[in-house]
Amino acid sequence: MAYLIKGVSILGAEPTDLYISDGVISAPVEGAEVIDATGLVALPGLVDVHTHLREPGREDAETVETGSRAAALGGYTAVCAMANTSPVADTAGVVEQVWRLGREAGLVDVQPIGAVTVGLAGKQMAELGAMATSAANVRIFSDDGFCVADPKLMRRALEYVKAFDGVIAQHAEEPRLTEGAQMHEGEVSTRLGLTGWPAVAEEAIIARDVLLAEHVGSRLHVCHVSTAGSVEVLRQAKARGIRVTAEVTPHHLLLTDELAAGYDPVFKVNPPLRTRTDVEALRQALLDGVIDVVATDHAPHAVQDKECEWAHARPGMLGLETALPIVLSVFGPRWDLIADRMSIAPARIAGLEGHGGDLTQAGTPANLTLVDPAAQRIVDPAELASRSRNTPYAGMTLPGRIVATFLRGEATVLDGKAVK
């Protein structure tokens, strides 16, 4: 299938015609299907380094297929599936299963993340090498949901993955400082009587881990940075030349802890929503490159896990279908920035070749998405493609509509609808 994307603006540049054939950006070809892209902006397909697809184990909340569809509708062409499934993705068998399910769905590239420790228990290193050399070709390892809290184990993991150019993605949360934690520790938690999750519990682990990474000369990736203090630690680490990358979620760029006031667990997430000061610092850090990427931490949860008491609810929010609109609403149409932080840099961190490519170059794999920046939509949970409904943005009007997405030249989304 060949496409002519007519009058499209690549990263906000003057409108041009873009041809896709044989899965790559190509020279003009005959008989291409024409897509009128007047007013649309083309971005390299978005890449999410932090997605929870819930399969295997919680297919009532999300499956690889439904999550893939949500991702494609959000403009993504690749997602990295976190390891905290049931069973945990801590063996070659499980990561290959997830990888194969992704291929079968065929909507985005599903790149499994392997667990750092067996069962995410933080005690014994998982068979990282076996996962790396499996068909799934795992490069990112993470116990996300839990912190690799044991400093010795963290050090060893950082060292061990050097053998296959792996990276440890740390969920930075000192567990002793967050026992029973329900939300950001501060004024609002005090008022609401909910046990606080202090910023220092994140900052202390990041500080420790950047020093460990420096000591053993390894790469470190920090998941979902949420505090102004963490930003300062990362800024200094990068200035020292430590090989650390970091992500921020759309929700931490927009929402604050005040939203917990009604005790609606749709706003419960880990790390928790922080203060306005933290939000401002995270935005600046993303602009400065101290934080490298936007990652969704898309975390679907079944209704019964959210329609309950705050303390009993599971933490997490949907993110794939709203990430680009949130980033647009925060930063405006800064397309080069968006392409870098949501596609190019994440593809580089995850080692996903073929994603985050240059759309002006013939031969670049045709992984791209078309956005209508002038469109607005009101977020309706019922309309989301995810199997779950736990979006914190229900009722909000957000800018930008994903019109089409292409994975290796095949349309996964056309006219704003998933092709399959």
Partner 1 sequence: MIKHLRSAGDLDAATATLILDTAAEMAALSGREVKKLPALRGRTVVNLFYEDSTRTRISFEAAAKRLSADVINFSAKGSSVSKGESLKDTALTLQAMGADAVVIRHSASGAPHRLSNWVDGSVVNAGDGTHEHPTQALLDAYTMRSRLGRLDGLKVAVVGDVLHSRVARSNVLLLSTLGAEVTLVGPPTLIPLDVVAALSKTTKVSYDLDSVLPDSDVVMMLRVQTERMQDSFFPSAREYSRRYGLDVTRMRKLPEHAIVMHPGPMNRGMEIAPEVADSPRSTIVEQVANGVSVRMAVLYLLLGGK
Find the helix packing angle between 276-288 and 323-331, rounded to 10°. Answer: 90
Task: Quote the least distance from Cβ 190 to partner 1, whole Å.
Answer: 4
- On the 0-12 / 13-18 / 19+ scale of CB atoms within 10 A, 362 is exposed
53 among the known binding-site residues?
yes
Smallest distance from partner 1 to CB 195, Å: 8
Query: Do the Cβ atoms of 114 and 139 come closer than 8 Å?
Result: no
Smallest gap from Cβ 244 to partner 1, in A, equals 30
50 assigned to a ligand binding site? yes
- Within 259-298, the residues that bind partner 1 by CB under 8 A are 262-264
Single out the segment in contact with partner 1 by CB under 8 A; choices: 43-51, 55-63, 222-230, 258-266.
258-266
DSSP class of 365: B
Choose which of 103, 312, 417, 420 interacts with partner 1 (CB under 8 A). 312
258 touching partner 1, by CB under 8 A: no
Q: Which of 34, 311, 374, 378 binds partner 1 (CB under 8 A)?
A: 311
Confirm or deny that 390 is annotated as ligand binding.
no
Query: Binding residue per annotation — 224?
Result: yes
Determine contact, residues 268/183, Cβ cutoff 8 Å. yes
The contact mask relative to partner 1 for 83-112 (x = CB under 8 A, - = no) is: ------------------------------
Note whether 307 binds partner 1 by CB under 8 A.
yes
Report whether 301 belongs to an annotated binding site: yes
Active site residues: 297
CB closer to partner 1 out of 196 and 400: 196
The amino acid occupying position 80 is C
Of 165 and 187, CB closest to partner 1: 187
User: Looking at 260-330, which runs of residues are DSSP E strands?
Assistant: 293-294
- In the numeric block, which tokens belong to residue 160? 């061990």
The alpha helices in 193-322, defined as continuous H runs, are 199-216, 228-239, 250-254, 276-288
Shortest distance in whole angstroms from residue 188 CB to partner 1: 7
312 is annotated as contributing to ligand binding? no
360 binds partner 1 (CB under 8 A): no
Q: Cα separations (Å) of 134 from 111, 315, 359?
A: 12, 31, 31
Window 186-215: residues binding partner 1 (CB under 8 A): 186-196
Find residue 369's DSSP bridge partners: 43, 405
Q: What is the CA radius of gyration of the chain?
A: 20
Q: Is the dihedral of CA 70, 282, 344, 234 positive or negative?
A: negative
**Contact (CB, 8 A) for 363 and 23:** no
β-pair type (3-10, 16-21) = antiparallel
In a 13 Å sphere around the CA of 340, the CA atoms on its Cβ side amount to 9
Shortest CB 227 distance to partner 1, Å = 15
Residues that bind partner 1 in the complex, under the rule CB under 8 A: 182, 186-196, 262-264, 304, 307-312
The binding site for substrate consists of 52-54, 84, 270, 301, 315-316
The binding site for Zn(2+) consists of 50, 52, 144, 171, 224, 297
